Every structure is written in C-alpha cells, then in structure tokens.
Chains A and B, each alone.
Chain A
Amino acid sequence: EDQVTQSPEALRLQEGESSSLNCSYTVSGLRGLFWYRQDPGKGPEFLFTLYSAGEEKEKERLKATLTKKESFLHITAPKPEDSATYLCAVFDFGNEKLTFGTGTRLTIIP
C-alpha cells in the first residue's frame, strides 16, 4: 500500500527565512507526485506535478524537487501570504487514486 509522510507537521518562519518541507513516499511504481496548497476554508489548490527523479519545478517563491524516495518543497524568502497547509500526494501505476500526506502547516511571521 502506498504511504506518504510529510514533515514537519508545522513550521513557523520569519518573513524572508528560507526553508524546506519534506514529503517521503513508498509506492510500487511512481507515476507522479503532486503538491497542493490549502488555505483555511478552501479546497486544495494545485501547485505542481513531478514525474521523475531529478525533476524540478518552480512557481514564484516555491521550488519542488523529486528523488526516488522523497520530494522537497523549498520556499525562498517567504512572505506572510505563503502561510498555508502544503499537501503532497502520490499517484502510482495501476492505481488511479492519489494518496495524500497529512500536510505541513506553514506560518510566516511578518
């Protein structure tokens, strides 16, 4: 069975303080790894899909990377508006479902 573990559960950063969120996974055959952002009271917002080890994608202050066992979401010089819960999910061959982690709650302090 696919497993996704995100760490840390919560992270508080000062504005401008760069850091990384981790998503480690166990799947039989990775088809894709998804990153989402979720604000309180809203649905998860799609950010990236990564397909193979070594792949990187960027969006504004966010950069996602992928290895064979984990993915990192790097946040550079974050702003308070980056505060949200970040979810990752895996999608494997032979299974149409996404398996989600429990998320990292990120708070950026002005």
Chain B
Amino acid sequence: DAGVIQSPRHEVTEMGQEVTLRCKPISGHNSLFWYRQTMMRGLELLIYFNNNVPIDDSGMPEDRFSAKMPNASFSTLKIQPSEPRDSAVYFCASRTDYEQYFGPGTRLTVT
C-alpha cells in the first residue's frame, strides 16, 4: 500500500490567493482527518470525516477554511483567501479501527 498520499508537498503563495491541498487516504480506511502543525501550537485537528461525511469541523480556524470529501478516495482542504498566519505544515491522516496513519504533509508558505 502506498500509504496516505498528499499533494502538493510544498506550496508557496501570496497573501489573498486560494490554496487547495489534496489527500488520498489508504484504501479501506473509513475515517479521514486534516491536521495543521506549527512550532507554536503543535499538531491541531482541523476537521474529520467518517464515511465521507464531515463529523467535526470545530478545529477549522475560520470561514476561510473549507474541506470536502466527495468520495472515499479523495479529500481537499481549501483556504480562500490565504494569509501569512496560515503558513504551517498540513497533514492528512486516515484510520480504520485503532490505527491512524499520516501522510507526508504539505508545507504551506504564504508571503
């Protein structure tokens, strides 16, 4: 299995631009999670899906952030408009039962 796949691996954009991060979970996993990691705040859960349905988006920082999971093999996290404080590493993770696996992350830099 290829594991959780994320793209792009690095994204540099200017403030105000739209950013879309993509994730392909491990086949057969029914839960998908989006996290953000910074030095200051550590690993924060933004949103998670169960069977493609958003269950808890309480971690989404504001309305500029949105996430979708149109099918079991694909999810997106969109930031519009982006701001410098959104700079972080964004991880996608998928889980079945009691083992949760992370992707390699997308390093986002907003200038």
Contact = CB atoms under 8 A, between A and B. Distances in A.
Interface of A: 31-32, 34, 36, 42-46, 49, 51, 87, 91, 96-98, 100, 102-103
Interface string B10-49: 0000000000000000000001010000000011010010
Given A43-B91, A87-B43, A103-B42, A98 B104 contact: no
A65 to B, nearest CB: 17
B42 A102 contact: yes
Q: DSSP majority for the B interface? A: strand
11 contacts: A31-B98, A36-B102, A42-B105, A43-B4, A43-B93, A44-B102, A46-B99, A91-B98, A97-B48, A98-B33, A102-B42
Nearest to B6: A43
How many B residues touch the partner, as a band?
20 to 34
Contacts of B4: 43
